[in-house]
């Protein structure tokens, strides 16, 4: 079992993955609070440092690159300073940004968090949501058409900002099926029932419940039955419901259900864990692993990132070490 996983992780570096979705920058402004403003009853934050990381679908691409594979990003960015910063961040992570589409009518999405005394005081979102103009949609489709013949799998990472519209969703899934490569989805609740005929989707329990408008989901059996409903509704090959400290549940056709216990030893921060799950699972599927093996290796990767603070990724070495330790 150990060798099977280790050989699979070694094969990640041979894979190329296309990520389609909403990119953004997650910005953090850290500081101290010593007094209240005389202008209004709010704290004055004295800034001590600023950091920024890839966010949204860009974090999925970052996870792919961290695991040693080639990541291609198809998304939109603004013709602005943050757009240039985002492209530089992609280059630094060795993510291919040649197929990004510039939109001069919308800003690059930036989510800024002001943090003081280990507490987030406020978040400021700079974004314009909703459907893009047809010329932008057509450019995105052209990028997808150019890339799908070159890649081993596609991830649709939907953050509900506009890139994953019905037209792009349908085209991407149709092309992936034509080229017989896996197509996986990290879903947005409001689009939940539109991801039809995919290889797998990886909602967390809350997303699965809300996406299906389900009621009275309390037990593990309830979650399994919900997964069966999702499978039937989407006509997909599988569904993986992530369940926090309870691990994850893989639902396949013919009532085949596997509950995989969590491999996390410590949980500091669940930020970005969903991005790690879909990235690792898709890489494994691209490398021709079966659904259960792919879900298991993704579960190990999630256990690594939740033990780190902030938006994090796992490396092949970390993954190998954790798996070797587990099967010792």
Which pLDDT does position 266 carry in this prediction? Answer: 61
Cα–Cα dist 280/208, whole Å: 20
Question: Looking at the domain that runs over 2-326, which CATH code has it been given?
Answer: 3.40.1190.20
Tens of pLDDT, residue by residue, the chain (328 residues): 678 899 999 999 999 999 999 999 999 999 999 999 999 999 999 999 999 999 999 999 999 999 999 999 999 999 999 999 999 999 999 999 999 999 999 999 999 999 998 889 999 999 999 999 999 999 999 999 999 999 999 999 999 999 999 999 999 999 999 999 999 999 999 999 999 999 999 999 999 999 999 998 989 999 999 999 999 999 999 999 998 888 899 999 999 999 998 876 665 445 568 899 999 999 999 999 999 999 999 999 988 887 766 667 889 999 999 999 888 7
Domain residue spans of the chain? 2-326
Residue 168's pLDDT is what? 96
**If you write DSSP's letter for every residue of 233-294 in order, what string do you get?**
HHT-S-EEEE-GGG-EEEEETTTEEEEE----S--S--TTHHHHHHHHHHHHHHTT--HHHH
pLDDT value at residue 269: 42
- Active-site option among 103, 158, 186, 275: 275
pLDDT at 268: 47
Q: Is 10 a catalytic residue?
A: no
Pairing of strands 110-116, 119-126: antiparallel
Give me the pLDDT at residue 271, please: 56
> pTM here?
0.93
């Amino acid at each position: 079992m150990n060798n099977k996983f280790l050989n699979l992780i070694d094969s990640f570096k041979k894979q190329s993955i296309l990520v389609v979705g909403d990119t953004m920058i997650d910005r953090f402004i850290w500081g101290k609070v010593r007094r209240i403003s005389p202008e209004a009853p709010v704290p004055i934050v004295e800034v001590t440092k600023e950091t920024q990381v890839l966010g949204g679908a860009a974090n999925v691409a970052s996870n792919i690159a961290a695991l040693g594979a080639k990541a291609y990003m198809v998304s939109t960015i603004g013709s602005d300073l943050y757009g240039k910063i985002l492209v530089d961040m992609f280059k630094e992570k060795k993510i291919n940004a040649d197929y990004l589409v510039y939109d001069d009518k919308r800003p690059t999405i930036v989510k800024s968090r002001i943090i003081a005394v280990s507490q987030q005081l406020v978040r400021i979102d700079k974004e314009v949501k909703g459907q893009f103009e047809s010329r932008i949609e057509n450019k995105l489709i052209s990028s997808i058409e150019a890339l799908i013949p070159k890649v081993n799998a596609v991830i649709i990472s939907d953050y509900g900002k506009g890139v994953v519209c019905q037209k792009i969703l349908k085209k991407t899934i149709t092309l992936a099926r034509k080229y017989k490569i896996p197509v996986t989805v990290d879903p947005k609740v409001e689009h939940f029932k539109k991801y039809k005929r995919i290889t797998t989707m990886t909602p967390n329990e809350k997303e699965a419940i809300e996406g299906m408008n389900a009621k009275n989901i309390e037990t593990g059996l309830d979650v399994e039955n919900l997964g069966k409903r999702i499978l039937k509704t989407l006509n997909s090959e599988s569904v993986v419901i992530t369940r926090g400290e309870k691990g994850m549940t893989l639902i396949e056709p013919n009532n085949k259900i596997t509950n995989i216990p969590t491999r996390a030893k410590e949980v500091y921060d669940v930020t970005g864990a969903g991005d790690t799950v879909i990235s690792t699972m898709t890489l494994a599927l691209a490398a021709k692993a079966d659904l259960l093996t792919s879900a298991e290796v993704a579960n190990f990767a999630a256990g690594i990132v939740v033990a780190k603070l902030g938006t994090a990724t796992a490396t092949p070495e970390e993954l190998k070490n954790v798996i070797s330790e587990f099967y010792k």
